[in-house]
């Protein structure tokens, strides 16, 4: 009925996932607006940095 | 001041029921529990986060597990998926062409759907704690 296909690269999928989860964590984990923004940005950066870092660590074993 | 004591006691007696109601509402529709507790910002962003994960997961043709899974991971997947409330029950409408986990995108979509459920579960617990007075 509403089934629209979504075509995302692996990196874009990781960014969307990290963004949604970071926003939810920030809303649930912090009380003030400033605290939430800081937490969400920090969480998003860590998600992406750790994701890319693990990808680079696994690269030698990928072929 | 002293006349408020019966009212406060009555409210305190109702807290477990209110907390349970808020938790059920938060499970059924992500953010609804917080909306009932007048936490507007949390309600909106929780709905957007859970809804975003679920809609993108369905769009990537991720697999939504059902109760008939034969292995433990399937059962855990069902538990995670079922926690997304209305987005679990809208699965057939949002994913009309069915799951396709033969591609990497479908596999990623499965993780998105499970993520939506787990994030909503955190929202349910948060709504319960707020309603029961353990959190602001």
How far is Cα A55 from Cα B123, in angstroms, rounded to an integer? 30
| pLDDT for A7 | 84
Residues in chain A: 63
Quote the minimal CA–CA distance from B39 to chain A in Å.
10
Taking the alpha carbons of B32, B80, A13, B57 in that order, is the dihedral positive or negative? negative
Chain B touched by A11 (CB under 8 Å)? no
pLDDT in tens, chain B (136 residues): 556 777 777 777 778 888 999 999 999 999 999 999 999 999 999 999 999 999 999 999 898 888 888 888 889 999 999 999 999 998 877 777 788 888 888 889 999 999 999 999 999 999 999 998 888 7
Could you give the number of structural domains in chain A? 1
Quick one: CA dihedral B106, B46, B119, B11, positive or negative? negative
Can you give the residue range of the structural domain that contains A24?
10-61
Q: Does A27 reside within a domain?
A: yes
The pLDDT assigned to B122 comes to 96
Nearest-Cα residue of chain A relative to residue B123: A28
Is B1 part of a structural domain of the chain?
Answer: no
For residue B84, give its domain range: 14-131
Q: Which pair of tokens denotes residue A38?
A: 């800081």
- Total count of domains within chain B: 1
B2 domain-assigned: no
Listed residue (A35, A24, A20) closest to B124, CA to CA: A24
Residue B8 has a pLDDT of 77
How far apart (Å, rounded) are the C-alpha atoms in residues A31 and B99? 38
Instruction: Give B-chain residues touching A7 at CB under 8 angstroms.
Output: 105
Residue B8 lies in a domain: no
């Amino acid at each position: 009925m509403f089934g629209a296909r979504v075509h995302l690269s692996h990196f874009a999928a990781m960014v969307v996932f990290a963004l949604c989860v970071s926003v939810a964590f920030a809303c649930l984990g912090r009380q003030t607006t400033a605290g939430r923004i800081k937490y969400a940005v920090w969480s998003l950066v860590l998600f992406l940095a750790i994701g890319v870092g693990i990808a680079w660590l696994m690269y030698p074993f990928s072929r | 001041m002293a006349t408020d004591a019966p009212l406060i006691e009555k409210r305190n007696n109702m807290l477990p029921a209110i907390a349970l109601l808020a938790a059920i509402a938060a499970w059924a529709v992500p953010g609804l529990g917080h909306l009932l507790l007048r936490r507007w910002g949390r309600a909106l962003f929780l709905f957007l986060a859970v809804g975003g994960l679920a809609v993108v997961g369905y769009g990537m043709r991720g697999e939504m597990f059902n109760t008939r899974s034969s292995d433990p991971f399937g059962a855990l997947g069902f538990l995670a998926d079922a926690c997304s409330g209305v987005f679990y029950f809208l699965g057939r409408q949002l994913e009309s062409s069915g799951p396709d986990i033969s591609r990497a995108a479908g596999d990623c979509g499965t993780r998105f759907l499970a993520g939506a459920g787990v994030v909503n579960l955190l929202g349910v617990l948060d709504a319960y704690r707020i309603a029961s007075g353990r959190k602001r």
